[in-house]
Amino acid sequence: MADPLLWVSGLCKRFGSLVVSDGIDLDIRHGEAHALIGPNGAGKTTLLRVLLGQLQPQSGTVRLGTNLQIAYFDQLRHQLREDETLAAAGVPESDRLMMTADVTAG
């Protein structure tokens, strides 16, 4: 079995007395899909920022696989330009997700 692309052990992040995450263990391997689901303010973005190294956890370990390239756009999409495609922004075709919706009045 190949090494994980992302490995997390005992991850804990707090802001003062507010516990955002505590004891998270996770590994993500090639070909897997994962989702973070929760209400606003639950800590989803904070967890992503810890995994990306933008915030430091109080404890725990985060290891990224070798030659891993992360494409991440924050919830406000500050990194995206309206006049630029995902390809121009550097997102490989294999990492793009096409979503469509059929919206009809009924």
Which residue type is seen at 20? V
Is it the case that residue 104 has pLDDT exceeding 60? Answer: no
For position 38, what pLDDT does the model report?
Answer: 86
Is it the case that residue 3 has pLDDT exceeding 70? Answer: yes
Q: How far is CA 45 from the centre of its chain?
A: 8
Average pLDDT of the residues of the chain: 79
Is it the case that residue 63 has pLDDT exceeding 80? Answer: yes
Residue 95 binned pLDDT confidence (cut-offs 50, 70, 90) = low
Residue 106 binned pLDDT confidence (cut-offs 50, 70, 90) = very low
**Helices marked H in 1-106:** 44-51
- Mean pLDDT within 59-75: 80
